[in-house]
Amino acid sequence: MVGMDNSSPPVLFVVGTAGAGKSSLVTAFQRWSRFLETEVIAVNLDPGAERVHYDAEFDVRDLISLNEVMDEYDLGPNGAQILAADLLAAQAGQVADQLHALSGEIMIVDTPGQVELFAFREASNHLIETLGREQSAIIYLFDPMLSRSPSGFVSQMLLSSIVEFRLGLPTKNFLSKADLLDPDDLAQILEWSERLEILEMALYDEAGGQRTEFAINQLRMMQEFSQAPGLTPLSSELEEGLADILTFAQALFGGMSDARDGFASDIEHEKN
C-alpha cells in the first residue's frame, strides 16, 4: 500500500485565517483516513490552541506554552505568538529530531490561528526545510462567510497567493465549512473560482472600476503561476472534500495508496 519512503512522508500544512477551520480539518482528516487505513501523522504547530481534538503525534505546546510566554515576558497574545514562533525556531534541532522520529504515510500540520504568523515568521521556513521542501504543500482554507462577497472572495484569493509566494510551496485552495453555505451561494462562489470574467463583473458591481481592475490584474498574473487553480468545497463536519486533499497530495507526490474511485478523473479535473 505504501509507495514511498516511510522516513519522509508528504507534509500538508493547513493554513487559513483565524477560525477558518484548520484544526477541525486536521481532526476530520485523521478520523477519515483511519477508515481508509492510511496512516496519518497529525502535528500541532499552534502554541495558542486551547485544545485539539486529534491525536497530535507532535504538539508544539509540549515545548512552548503561550500562557507561560505571556506571563514570563509580559506580552499580550499576539506578541506572545510571535515570540513563541521565534522560540520554536531556536529549538529547531530538537523539533526536527522529534518530527523525523514519526512514521506514517502522510503528515498533516495544524498552524496558528493568525495566518501571518505561519507565513511571515522565519521559523516556518526552517520547519519546511526540516520536513523536506520537496514533499511539502499547503492546504489553504477560505472562510465561507467572507467568500460570499466578491471583495471578500478576491481578498482571500490574493492572500492565498501571497502565502504560496512567500513559502514557495504548491498550494491548493479549499472552501471551508461548505455545509454552512446555501446552495446558491456555494454555486456562485465556485463559479467565481473557475471563471475570472464572472468574478470581475461581480466585483465591478460591488467595488467599482479602479479597485476591480487592480485586483483582477493581480489575480490574473498570480494564477498563471498557480499549480492547482480553482476552489474545492470542503466540510469537516460532513467529511466532504477530504478525498480531494488526498488526491492533491497523490498528484504531487505520487504513491501512498492504491488508486481510489475517481482518482484519475480528479487529477484530470485538477489540470483543467
Ligand X SMILES: Nc1nc2c(ncn2[C@@H]2O[C@H](COP(=O)(O)OP(=O)(O)OP(=O)(O)O)[C@@H](O)[C@H]2O)c(=O)[nH]1
Q: Which residue has the cell 492572500?
A: 159
Q: Binding to Mg ion (CB under 5 A): which residues in 16-55?
A: 22-23
Stretch touching ligand X by CB under 6 A, among 58-66, 152-160, 208-216, 233-241: 233-241
Determine, following the binding rule CB under 6 A, whether residue 145 of this chain makes contact with ligand X: no
Q: Give the three cell numbers for residue 102.
A: 514519526
For residues 24 and 30, give the distance between their C-alpha atoms in angstroms, rounded to a whole number: 10
Q: Does 136 engage in binding with Mg ion (CB under 5 A)? A: no
**Residue 69 near residue 63, CB atoms below 8 Å:** no
10 binds ligand X (CB under 6 A): no
Joined together, the cell numbers standing for residue 31 give 478520523
Spatial separation of the C-alpha atoms in residues 191 and 189, rounded to whole Å: 5
Minimum distance of ligand X from residue 271's CB (angstroms): 27
Please, which residue, 108 or 256, has the CB nearer to Mg ion?
108
The answer for residues whose C-beta is within 8 angstroms of residue 224's C-beta and 6 or more apart is none
The three three-digit cell numbers of residue 90, written as one number: 531556536
Per CB under 6 A, does 20 bind ligand X?
yes
116 binding ligand X? (CB under 6 A): no
Of the candidate spans 15-23, 172-180, 192-200, 212-220, the one that interacts with Mg ion by CB under 5 A turns out to be 15-23
- Please give the residue ranges that form the binding site for ligand X (CB under 6 A): 16, 18-24, 46, 113, 177, 179-180, 235-237
